[in-house]
Amino acid sequence: MCDKDIVYRELKSIVGSDRVTDDEAILATYAMDSATPLGRAGYPSFVVLPMTTDEVKGVLEVANRYKIPVVPMSRGANIASMSIPSRGGIVLDLRLMDNIIEINTDAAYALIEPGVTFHKLAYEVRKYGFICHLPTASGGASPLANYLMRPSGNLTATWDPDPIIALEVVTPTGYVLRTGSASFGINSWRARYGPFPDLTGLFCCSYGTLGVITKAAVKIFDRGEEERLFLAAFDNFKAAVEFMKFAVRRKLVDSVTFWNWGWCMFHDMILSKEKEIPPEMLKPDQRTPPPGHPYGIATARMSGYTEVVDAQERVCKKLVEQLGGRVVSAEEAREKYPGSWAYWNAYYIEGVHVKPGEESQLRAGLHLPGCLITAEPSKVVEVEERMWRIAEKEFKPPVFYRSLPYSHAREFFLAFVVYATGSMVEEQQYLAHLRKVYAKLYDELLRDYGAIMFRFRRDPMYVIKTGTYAEVLRQIKRIFDPNNIMNPGIMMF
Amino acid sequence: MTMKLTSSIDKDLYTIIAHCIRCGQCTYTRGSKYDLLCPMYKKGKFFAYSGGGIVQLARALFEKVIDYSPSITNIVYRCTTCGVCEEMCGIITFPRKGVSPMDIGNLIKAELVKRGLGPLPPHKRFYENIVKEHTPYDDCRHEERTAWMPPEIRREMPKKAEVLYFVGCTASFREQDIARSLINILRKADVNFTVSRDEWCCGSPMYRTGQWDILRDLVKHNVEMIKKTGASTVVFTCAGCYNTLKKHYPEWYEGELDVEMLHASEFVVKLIKDGRLSIKKPIEMNATYHDPCHLGRGVGVYEPPRELIKLISGLKFTEMERSRENAFCCGAGGGVKGGLPDYALEIATERVKEALKLGVDTLISTCPFCKRNLKDAAQALKANIDIIDLVEILDKVT
């Protein structure tokens, strides 16, 4: 234990008095996010706003000396309480570190700080004819933070799924570590791999438990001469998965996602500002689409030379028909799903989020909690079946899902979500119930289908399942963070 | 969006605010270009100083994580009520319950006032002045509300007319050229109008500083005053008054108020379209336009001022980068100019500098309160730029 005043003075000496606070009202705004259960705020003792790597290093040294928990927060837009100080301590709010240090079009990467938002990065790289990965996080979220946790959807998911190249990391023990090509002290962040083990990967999905990432080189992509959106409707998930798998493996698309009818309708609802949730989305049978709607729509981005994209589109049409699906025209999509159409165009073609104030991705935050897994192609079809059976018994409508392939379709991502806010006691009870269902479900899906939790959801038992891996991870943790001060509320260690 | 005067941070409101995912969208521009717009957040740095921060404060108050305190006063009274959060937030406005972070900030201010923790000391003087002289301004007497008017016009002013010009306190007592310009225009167009000597403060400063207990009286009085004139149209030069009467009075007034309300820019566009007024003279001017928050984001009036500006020959117009719904605040609103004048000036300075970057000689606005604060900033900067209201220009060219 330590004297709070002493710590405050030390923090003030590092960042100055206007960037550290213990003001109770300011602290309260860092205590909860939309996933924090009612009455379970995690109240910090201090919030610090560093602006440089040196300041981050200084703060971590103080925290380590006094064994004070540190929760790094890039933009705070996380919806799963990943940056909530559930064990108190210091919130290291990194939003003022918001520089795009370099956009290197020659080596196709951008070097960014944690406070940079998707809006800013997407806007800046577009100036150079590039796009960046866009996930389903909000435009106000941090690409650095989101990429470190794997984006749950992006524009080049099929062939280049990992947006992170190299990192600058500050550890509580005082290391300022650069990974990949940057580890040699050269001014090039182009490569993740060198002649040594990959330390970049160590910090991916570490959720701020090993150190604070102060810079990241992230991939950016040439937009190509032609960018096109291709839509195909399917009446079952199996056919959609087959389509996605072959479209990816045969290099027909940059990215493809399957949205079930509920999700298509959800986009419409939020973007058209309808007054209420459509009655179809509240019907007891959430699996069967309403009359006139397909089971779901696969949306694909194609880009490159026009002649190539034309050919890709022709082949995709053939593939869709072979699998019993049908191509959805722009007119049909615009008429039937205007919100989804607007969203898909902005997302896939423009490489930006839909008008920020109305963007659906922000509101994806309303789905709490979701069941997010990855599995092999044939297994993901079985998981979808299982999820509907669970949904019938355990979920209240609306329930909807999306799925997309990663990495040459070796695995598929599947996100089943419910529309719930968790804002009141009755909803809290429902969400508490869902959390129990999910905890059991993740175990069962792992056992029965080899399906893995997409992001860690603060279940210590899930880490233990990895056996030796968990033990090695703990040893690594001790090297970087011997006092376990880094984001301990994550419960990974 | 507006708050009922009986609102509190209750279960219904909590259901809405718990949606906030702290995305920070409430602080920056719509569209692809990223730019911080929330003045409070720009200066305050911590998340608390933003629309989302205020929403989180409300949540923490409801959950009793914290109690009302001077710390909260220090945060919420820095909000200029510019409405960026209302415009940009897609989350808590999404369930369409009619609240925005800005509304919640106003509500917190009202709760602070109830507990004796607000408003800021100068705001208390506004209240006392309003009770005594029906205007928040110091050293002003109600009897002199129409003293800006040339005596011969005042003498002839009818009690009843088709159009009522609701002058507002700033144009009545501080920026009187604006008021004189509008009545000149109305006379040129032969509009059957009146100005009431019995106009009171619209209530905007009281609403935005949390002093809600006086609002019913102000609203009732002004509505009755409007009714007495028999006017079917009420015209405003003050964006704050216009916003308050058009947006909030229908929620706050318990009876019917069946009048058309128009900002002067909208009304003049109509006069020109109807052939009752024409632009006759050119003017040599290199100008840009500042969208007042209460007129633009507040009630969605963006085009009429621009239409008029573009009609004036000799006036070279350049748009500021941050314009329309992405306009940066002048810094005067929400009681900030009265309560935290240095902070208000700092914000206005940023806006004036933005105009200066364009190389213009004139910054046009359509709100006397914006004009006042921007003028103060221009003076502080010793900048060679005129700050002028659109009606003042229109008076010269019609």
Dist CA B349 CA B379 (whole Å): 10
Contact flag B91-A275 (C-beta cutoff 8 Å):
no
Task: Answer whether residue B305 is part of any domain.
Answer: yes
Closest to B267 (Cα-Cα) out of B212, B297, B228, B308: B308
E strands, chain B, where?
A: 163-166, 193-194, 233-236, 260-263, 285-289, 315-317, 362-365, 386-389
Quick one: tokens of A415?
Answer: 């996100």
To the nearest 10 degrees (0 to 180), the angle between helices B390-397 and B264-273 is 30
Q: Same domain for B69 and B211?
A: no
Dist CA A294 CA A296 (whole Å): 5
Contacts of B63 in chain A (CB under 8 A): 32, 38-39, 41
Q: Same domain for B236 and B341?
A: no
pLDDT above 90 (res B228): yes
Q: What is the pLDDT of residue A38?
A: 67
Q: Domain boundary at B273, B301, B320, which?
A: B273
| Residue A160 φ then ψ, to 5° | -150, 70
Q: Which residue has the higher pLDDT, A92 or A37?
A: A92
Q: Averaged over B314-326, what is the pLDDT?
A: 95
pLDDT above 80 (res A35): no
Start-to-end Cα distance in chain B: 36
pLDDT above 90 (res A40): no
Predicted confidence (pLDDT) per residue in B141-174, tens digit:
999 999 999 999 999 999 999 999 999 999 999 9
Dist CA A231 CA A317 (whole Å): 9
Query: How high does pLDDT run on average in chain B?
Result: 93
Task: Answer whether residue B125 is part of any domain.
Answer: yes
Closest to A384 (Cα-Cα) out of A396, A399, A369: A399
The residue behind tokens 């981005």 is: A301
Contact flag A29-B45 (C-beta cutoff 8 Å):
no
Using an 8 Å Cβ cutoff, are B19 and B89 in contact? no
Task: Answer whether residue B278 is part of any domain.
Answer: no
Is any Cβ of chain A less than 8 angstroms from the Cβ of B100? Answer: no
Is any Cβ of chain A less than 8 angstroms from the Cβ of B48? Answer: yes
Contact flag A138-B21 (C-beta cutoff 8 Å):
yes
> Structural domain of residue B162, as residue ranges?
121-273
Contacts of B72 in chain A (CB under 8 A): 25
Q: Same domain for B171 and B303?
A: no
Q: Which of A57-66, A153-162, A217-226, A379-388 has the lowest mean pLDDT?
A: A153-162
Instruction: Measure A173 CA to nearest chain B CA, in Å.
Output: 27
Using an 8 Å Cβ cutoff, are B106 and B207 in contact? yes
Dist CA A76 CA A73 (whole Å): 6
- Bridge partner list, A301: A229, A255
Q: Averaged over A290-298, what is the pLDDT?
A: 95
Nearest to A21 among B22, B46, B87 (CB): B46
Contact flag A140-B23 (C-beta cutoff 8 Å):
yes
Task: Answer whether residue B73 is part of any domain.
Answer: yes
Q: What is the pLDDT of residue A188?
A: 95
List all residues 6 or more positions away from B212 whose beta carbon is below 8 Å from its beta carbon.
Answer: B5, B110, B113, B206
Q: Same domain for B149 and B168?
A: yes
Predicted confidence (pLDDT) per residue in A351-371, tens digit:
776 554 444 444 444 545 688
Q: What is the pLDDT of residue A420?
A: 66
Q: Which residue has the higher pLDDT, A426 or A399?
A: A399
Is any Cβ of chain A less than 8 angstroms from the Cβ of B34? Answer: yes
- Proportion of chain A above pLDDT 70, given as a percent: 91
Predicted confidence (pLDDT) per residue in A45-86, tens digit:
999 999 999 999 999 999 999 999 999 999 988 777 788 898
CATH architecture of A100-222: 2-Layer Sandwich (3.30)
Q: Same domain for B126 and B267?
A: yes
| Residue B95 φ then ψ, to 5° | -70, 5
Nearest to A357 among B72, B75, B87 (CB): B87
Q: Which amino acid is at B353?
A: K
Residue in B with minimal Cα distance to A427 = B15
Q: Same domain for B80 and B215?
A: no
Dist CA B315 CA B337 (whole Å): 31
Dist CA B360 CA B349 (whole Å): 15
Dist CA A137 CA A479 (whole Å): 32
Nearest to B56 among A18, A32, A273 (CB): A32
CATH architecture of A4-95: 2-Layer Sandwich (3.30)
pLDDT above 50 (res A93): yes
Using an 8 Å Cβ cutoff, are B203 and B230 in contact? no
Q: What is the pTM of this model?
A: 0.91
Closest to A150 (Cα-Cα) out of A414, A454, A415: A454
Instruction: Measure B215 CA to nearest chain A CA, in Å.
Output: 28
Written as one string, the DSSP assignment of A373-418 is EEE-HHHHHHHHHHHHHHHHHHPPSPEEEEEEEETTTTEEEEEEEE
Dist CA B247 CA B206 (whole Å): 15
Question: Which helix (H) or strand (E) element contains residue A218?
Answer: strand A212-222
Task: Answer whether residue B180 is part of any domain.
Answer: yes
Q: What is the pLDDT of residue A358?
A: 45
Q: Domain boundary at B217, B252, B273, which?
A: B273
Question: Which helix (H) or strand (E) element contains residue B355?
Answer: helix B341-357
Contacts of A123 in chain B (CB under 8 A): 32-34
Q: What is the pLDDT of residue A32?
A: 83
Q: What is the pLDDT of residue A133?
A: 87
Q: How many helices (H) and strands (E) does chain B have?
A: 21, 8
Query: How high does pLDDT run on average in chain A?
Result: 89
Q: Which residue has the higher pLDDT, B88 or B40?
A: B40
pLDDT confidence band for A412 (50 / 70 / 90): very high
Contact flag B19-A366 (C-beta cutoff 8 Å):
yes
What is this model's ipTM? 0.90
C-alpha B245, offset from chain centre = 11
Q: What is the pLDDT of residue A343?
A: 82
Q: Same domain for B105 and B148?
A: no
Instruction: Measure A335 CA to nearest chain B CA, in Å.
Output: 23
Contacts of B31 in chain A (CB under 8 A): 355-356
Q: What is the pLDDT of residue A364?
A: 41
Domain total for chain B? 3
Q: Averaged over A383-399, what is the pLDDT?
A: 93
Instruction: Measure B21 CA to nearest chain A CA, in Å.
Output: 5
pLDDT above 60 (res B385): yes
Spell out the domain ranges in chain A.
4-95, 100-222, 226-453
Give the single-character DSSP code of B244. Answer: I
pLDDT above 50 (res A25): yes
Q: What is the pLDDT of residue A276?
A: 65
Q: Same domain for B133 and B228?
A: yes
Residue in A with minimal Cα distance to B67 = A25
Q: Same domain for B142 and B257?
A: yes
In this structure, the strands spanning B386-389 and B362-365 are parallel
Contact flag A424-B60 (C-beta cutoff 8 Å):
no
Q: What is the pLDDT of residue A159?
A: 64
Q: What is the pLDDT of residue B96?
A: 47
In this structure, the strands spanning A100-104 and A109-112 are antiparallel
Q: Averaged over B42-55, what is the pLDDT?
A: 93
- Bridge partner list, B165: B235
Instruction: Measure B244 CA to nearest chain A CA, in Å.
Output: 24
Q: What is the pLDDT of residue A361?
A: 40
Q: Averaged over A8-23, what is the pLDDT?
A: 97
List all residues 6 or more positions away from A355 whose beta carbon is below 8 Å from its beta carbon.
Answer: A346, B30, B31
Using an 8 Å Cβ cutoff, are A54 and B79 in contact? no
CATH number at residue B69: 1.10.1060
Instruction: Measure A112 CA to nearest chain B CA, in Å.
Output: 15
Predicted confidence (pLDDT) per residue in A118-127, tens digit:
888 988 999 9
Q: Domain boundary at B85, B114, B143, which?
A: B114
Quick one: tokens of B258?
Answer: 């069946």
Q: Same domain for B130 and B260?
A: yes
CA-to-CA separations, B93 to B89, B194, B219, in angstroms, rounded:
6, 39, 26
Task: Answer whether residue B4 is part of any domain.
Answer: no
Closest to B205 (Cα-Cα) out of B170, B251, B164, B160: B170
Contact flag A25-B16 (C-beta cutoff 8 Å):
no
The residue behind tokens 């730019």 is: B35
pLDDT confidence band for A1 (50 / 70 / 90): low
Q: Which of A429-443, A463-477, B262-276 has the lowest mean pLDDT?
A: A429-443
Contacts of B46 in chain A (CB under 8 A): 21, 26, 29, 47, 49, 93
Q: What is the pLDDT of residue A357?
A: 42
Q: Which amino acid is at B262?
A: L
Predicted confidence (pLDDT) per residue in B28-43, tens digit:
876 656 678 999 998 8
CATH number at residue B330: 3.40.50
- Proportion of chain B above pLDDT 70, given as a percent: 96
In this structure, the strands spanning A164-170 and A176-178 are antiparallel
Using an 8 Å Cβ cutoff, are A356 and B12 in contact? no
Q: Which of A181-185, A487-491, B284-288, B331-335 has the lowest mean pLDDT?
A: A487-491
Q: Same domain for B155 and B253?
A: yes
Task: Answer whether residue B3 is part of any domain.
Answer: no
Task: Answer whether residue B330 is part of any domain.
Answer: yes
CA-to-CA separations, A102 to A63, A105, A116, B129, in angstroms, rounded:
31, 9, 12, 56
The residue behind tokens 């009843």 is: B160
Q: Same domain for B268 and B130?
A: yes
- Bridge partner list, A164: A218
Dist CA B147 CA B353 (whole Å): 34
Q: What is the pLDDT of residue A305?
A: 96
Is any Cβ of chain A less than 8 angstroms from the Cβ of B96? Answer: yes
pLDDT above 80 (res B98): no
Nearest to B11 among A25, A359, A424 (CB): A424
pLDDT above 80 (res B280): yes
Q: What is the CATH number of domain A226-453?
A: 3.40.462.10
- Residue A148 exposed, middle or buried by CB count within 10 Å (0-12, 13-18, 19+): buried
Cβ under 8 Å to A: B residues 171-230: none
Dist CA A282 CA A397 (whole Å): 5
State whether residue A243 is helix, strand or coil: helix
For Cα atoms A156, A158, A164, give the angle at the middle one, nearest 5 degrees.
55
